[in-house]
Structure formats: C-alpha cells, structure tokens
Amino acid sequence: MSITINGQRVEAPGDPRVSLLDLLRDRLGLPGTKKGCNQGACGACTVLVDGERIISCLALAVQFEGREITTIEGLAGADGLHPLQRAFVEHDGFQCGYCTPGQIVSAVAMAGEAARGLPSAVTSDIAAAAIPLTREEIAERMSGNLCRCGAYNGIVEAVAETFAAQKREEVAA
C-alpha cells in the first residue's frame, strides 16, 4: 500500500492510527508541514491531496493510498521557489514563519477553487464561472489559516499579487 508524496512513492504506515501529519514530519523527515493545534483549528498542517487542500492533523495516513500528496517541500519547481513563496518574501508575509507553509499551500488550492467558481460566504455572484480574488474573498477563503504573529496584511498582499499576476499571464497567453 503506497502513497505518493511530492512525486515519491512511500509505504503507508502499518499502524492505521498514524495521522498524515505525523507520517510527514516524524517518519518521512518532511518538517515543512507544521503542527500547530493538532486538532483542526489553525491550518498550519495544510497539504494538498490531488490538488485539494486538507488539514493533515485530522487525516489518517492510510486513507490516502493511491493519492498524490503535495507538501510545502513539493511546491517549488525546477526554476526555484513557487511564485507565491517569492511573494511572501517580497511582501513580508510572515514574522516567525510557523504558519507560513500552511498559508502558502492553502492559498495555492484556494486560488484554484475561486478560478473554478466555487463560491465563499462573501461571494456576491455565486453563479460566476470564476470568482475574482478580491481582498475580502482572500480573507474569507483563508480564514482557516491562522497567523499568531498577525502578518495578515502581508499575506493578503502576497496572495493577491501572485494570483492577479497569474491571471494576467493566462489572458496574455
């Protein structure tokens, strides 16, 4: 039984009680995904499963047999950091950095959700094919990712700039 993590196949743990978060951090040496609350309240442990964001502290690793997991370690490409990682640096989107991997991974999936027209609680046109990422939308959609340092202004700036830039590239293509 195997799980694909950042493109590498790994054996699922024999113990079905091991959380996905503990598999990543304690058994696979991938400490980028953080353990904040360990009870589903802070978002520090966010990872992607087949491109969708989940909180890994409340997920059992054995659930993900045959699935593709992406962690913060897997976001950077051959040409370096993911654009959102660079934007976090440019916009001071962190202070201590503990929440940052979860913020970045969550925002990548969040942008995809908006682009596919999945509405949030603040979306005015829920029938829109794609929903613009206004600051209000970003704040609402990222509300599951807490930052105890209060770096929210920089986080929103980084997310807004990155996905607005991607939109411009898509239009130009």
Residues interacting with ligand FES, by CB under 6 A?
35-38, 40-45, 55, 57, 94-100, 147-149, 151
E-strand ranges in the chain read: 2-5, 8-11, 46-49, 52-55, 68-70
* CB 144, min distance to ligand FES, A: 8
* CB 127, min distance to ligand FES, A: 32
* CB 34, min distance to ligand FES, A: 7
Cβ proximity to ligand FES, 60 vs 115, nearer residue:
60
Residue 117: Cβ-neighbour burial (10 angstroms; 0-12, 13-18, 19+)? middle
Give the C-alpha separation, 120 to 140, whole Å: 7
Cβ proximity to ligand FES, 57 vs 160, nearer residue:
57
* CB 25, min distance to ligand FES, A: 10
Give the C-alpha separation, 72 to 167, whole Å: 22
Give the C-alpha separation, 133 to 141, whole Å: 9
Query: Can you give the C-alpha Rg of the chain in angstroms?
Result: 16
Cβ proximity to ligand FES, 37 vs 128, nearer residue:
37
Q: Quick one: tokens of 120?
A: 């949030």
Cβ proximity to ligand FES, 131 vs 146, nearer residue:
146
